[in-house]
Amino acid sequence: GENVEQHPSTLSVQEGDSAVIKCTYSDSASNYFPWYKQELGKGPQLIIDIRSNVGEKKDQRIAVTLNKTAKHFSLHITETQPEDSAVYFCAAPPSGTSYGKLTFGQGTILTVHP
């Protein structure tokens, strides 16, 4: 099955700095890589995703990059703001999964200091 490893487990930055979270995956046939943000007491919220046919995707201050050869993908947040503070999870579906099962990384607690 798919194994997803996420680093770092905690990340502390100053407001305005950039934050980068990295994930590696094991199943080379995986083709979809979402990132979720989880705020305290809430469910995971999809913030950005990327498919295996592209190397980078941006949405305002958030970007995701994918390196299929190395089997890793990263979340980049620029100009961080205190409201970006949350737990971020990467995920990937195992190959052979037809119905959308996701395997999640361990999560990164991001703290943005004003």
Partner 1 sequence: EPEVTQTPSHQVTQMGQEVILRCVPISNHLYFYWYRQILGQKVEFLVSFYNNEISEKSEIFDDQFSVERPDGSNFTLKIRSTKLEDSAMYFCASSPEAYSNEQFFGPGTRLTVL
Distance, in Å, from the CA atom of 49 to the CA atom of 78, rounded to the nearest integer, reads 17
Is residue 102 within the footprint of partner 1 (CB under 8 A)? yes
The reply to whether 89 sits near partner 1 by the rule CB under 8 A is yes
- For position 65 contacting partner 1 by CB under 8 A, the verdict is no
53 binds partner 1 (CB under 8 A): no
Residue 98 touching partner 1 (CB under 8 A)? yes
109 vs 114: CA distance, rounded Å = 16
Give the x/- contact pattern for partner 1 in 10-49, rule: CB under 8 A: ----------------------x-x-x----xxxxxx--x
**DSSP state, 69?**
T
Cα gap 5→17, rounded to integer Å? 24
Peptide bond into 8 cis (omega under 30): yes
What is the closest distance, in whole angstroms, from the C-beta atom of residue 114 to partner 1 in the complex? 26
